[in-house]
Structure 1
Amino acid sequence: MKVGQKVQLRRLRDRVPPAVISKLGQIGTIRDFRMVDSSSVGVLVEFDDKFATWFFEDEIEVSQ
């Protein structure tokens, strides 16, 4: 995965607000990465409506 790539939100690990749940199955664009702990990477995804939030790599997949 790289910045600018299109991804689809496939699953959610944790409890999240309804605004995030509504994005399940939608396609967004990777805007940034960050280390969230010693073994995980967070991915900032922005959707068409300009809503953006962080996800774990295993919650998203590259869109075709």
Structure 2
Amino acid sequence: MQGRAAGNQERIIILAHQMESMARQDRLRPLRHYLQKGQQKKADGAMTVLAMLQAMKEKQDRAAG
């Protein structure tokens, strides 16, 4: 992997570590919080975790400017 792909992979790993840390500290909201309204009825575990990662990534992007 080179360039952008490697950077994205590193970022995913960092987000996963942040999620683990937040889970240990009981700072994560219920997983349904991270899903959009239409997705909540048909959510499976993988889709919920992906939505949570996307929400955390967007929050970091906004904070970075």
**TM-score bracket relative to the smaller structure:** under 0.3
Larger strand percent:
1
More contact order relative to length (CA 8 Å, sep ≥ 6): 1
TM-score (norm 2): 0.23
> Could you state the TM-score of these two structures normalised by the residue count of structure 1?
0.24
Q: Which has the higher helix share?
A: 2
